[in-house]
Homo-oligomer: A and B are copies of this chain.
Amino acid sequence: MSLDESGYVGLVLEKLSSSNIKIGDTICVKRNEEEYVGVLMPRSQVGSDQFHLVLKLESGYNIGIKLGQDSQVFKISSGKKKQSVSAEKELARKNLPTASILSTGGTIASKVDYQTGAVNPALSAQDLYDTVPELGDYANVRAKVIMSVLSENIQPNDWTKIARSVAVEIKAGSDGVVIAHGTDTLGFTAAALSFALQNLPVPVVLVGSQRSSDRPSSDAAMNLIGAINLATRANAAAVFVLMHAETGDSYLHAHLGTRTRKLHTSRRDAFQSVNGYPVYRVSGQDIMELRSPLSRRNTERKLNMKPKFEEKVALVKTNPSIEASLIDLFVERGYKGILIEGTGLGHAPDRLQSSIKKAIDAGIVVAMSSQCLFGRINMNVYRSGVELLDIGVVPSEDMFPETALVKLMWVLANTKDSESAKTLFLKPLAGEIDMRSEESEYAKTFGGD
């Protein structure tokens, strides 16, 4: 990456250019009496201001340093990205495992837009590697950009594309695949890949960050390093989401792809297992298995791809003002499935019943989940649940709504009629339904009293 793509302008660009410093170089900055040594990061978090540069210190933290006219900047050593081809070959020779990083966009691959102050997807997979050069200490990394979008824009056909890209990497002999993804819909994509990538030989690890990688407080580096290690070293073959387990930089949790939900808008530990527990605790190269993964790593195993999803599936969240005609609309528009996010144990207002019945009579698969998020659907307890079961509504068991929605999309693309779709919907495939899941798997607020 050349410096003028890095976001640095004015005074900082001038000083860096005059010392022939490139992103990734280890440099020394002298300002007044202070001296800082660290790796020059690609972009500053400080908007369009021409006075700040960002260094990654040896501690792993990034800091922004404001330069004055008198500040001095020296190069100490060139960054790893400057390694010659022979040096790269040397890395491979070290018998390191091979990891693939597929970048899809999102905060983990974002930079600050200097015009709006907002964050845009921009860093390539190579940039990620440049930003976290120590990735090379753990694995021989193959980095590819497969798309570049903020994850709220990811659609089911993108899941298909990502699944196919994973298959290419696995076929090429990757020891594990890391997918850098925006956090907003990371849980949806993780569930989708869990169904699409059957009979996996190696782990597939989705990773994101809650602070963009050019911000001093970014969780991107630690999450990426953990993901590379989990993907290449864990004795597992399943889809995981790996993110901070708490607000500090102590350790990460790997959650099952079908059980992961973003539960906080901003905390680094926003991701949690819902109706399940984390499978691994990860810190750098330390990988602690907390419970058995769904299946073990086996490079002889042949990946079975089922990458298609039916897009005509609606998510209908019930609420006190919902109108029955909303259900009718989806019937008229040729939808194939409706996932109701109902209340409590799996209820919907009685006034929706006749429209739900019409939808089912029209061949639409209607499934029921709960806006409670935690807990199991049980439609046998109350009259309204019993009546919906009688009509033919399918309970989503202990799947929370987002995973149930993705599974319904997948099931409808992989079956021939609504009866076989219902049967497949209720069959546990990737840890998404667990008849033994317990009420103890529940998140509670502490410190309140």
- A278 contact from B277, B350, B448, Cβ within 8 A: B448
Residue A269 is within 8 A (CB to CB) of chain B in the complex: yes
- A409 contact from B273, B313, B321, B343, Cβ within 8 A: B321
Interface 9-residue window, one of A2-10, A164-172, A375-383: A375-383
Q: Which are the 10 A-B pairs with shortest beta-carbon distances?
A: A265-B375, A277-B448, A184-B343, A184-B344, A443-B443, A152-B347, A264-B374, A264-B375, A443-B445, A118-B383
Q: B153 touching A351 by the CB < 8 A rule? A: yes
Q: A372 touching B449 by the CB < 8 A rule? A: no
Q: A382 touching B118 by the CB < 8 A rule? A: yes
Copies in the assembly, this chain: 2
Size range of the chain A interface in the assembly: 35 or more
A residues apposed to B, CB below 8 Å:
107, 110, 113, 116-120, 150-156, 158-159, 183-185, 188, 245, 247, 253, 262-267, 269-270, 272-273, 277-278, 281, 288, 290, 311-315, 317-322, 329, 341-351, 370-378, 380-386, 402, 405-406, 409, 439-449
Bound: A370/B185 CA distance, A:
12
Bound: A146/B247 CA distance, A:
47
The interface residues of chain B lying within 8 Å CB-to-CB of A381 are 118-119
Q: B119 touching A383 by the CB < 8 A rule? A: yes
- A264 contact from B152, B156, B281, B439, Cβ within 8 A: B439
Bound: A349/B446 CA distance, A:
34
Tell me whether A449 and B317 are in contact in the complex, defined as CB-CB below 8 angstroms, given that A152-B349, A152-B384, A153-B349 are known contacts. Answer: no
User: 26 pairs across A/B with beta carbons < 8 Å?
Assistant: A107-B382, A113-B383, A118-B381, A118-B385, A120-B382, A152-B348, A152-B350, A156-B320, A262-B344, A264-B374, A266-B376, A269-B444, A270-B374, A272-B444, A273-B445, A277-B447, A278-B448, A314-B321, A317-B341, A319-B402, A321-B405, A321-B409, A440-B447, A441-B448, A443-B445, A444-B445
Bound: A18/B342 CA distance, A:
46
The interface residues of chain B lying within 8 Å CB-to-CB of A269 are 444
The interface residues of chain B lying within 8 Å CB-to-CB of A118 are 380-383, 385-386
The interface residues of chain B lying within 8 Å CB-to-CB of A386 are 116-118
Q: B266 touching A152 by the CB < 8 A rule? A: no
The interface residues of chain B lying within 8 Å CB-to-CB of A375 are 264-267, 270
The interface residues of chain B lying within 8 Å CB-to-CB of A380 are 117-118
A149 (CB) vs chain B CBs: closest residue: B350
- A272 contact from B281, B344, B445, Cβ within 8 A: B445
A189 (CB) vs chain B CBs: closest residue: B320
The interface residues of chain B lying within 8 Å CB-to-CB of A183 are 344
The interface residues of chain B lying within 8 Å CB-to-CB of A159 are 320
7 other A-B residue contacts (CB within 8 Å) besides A262-B343, A278-B448, A443-B443? A152-B343, A154-B320, A263-B373, A263-B374, A266-B345, A440-B447, A444-B445
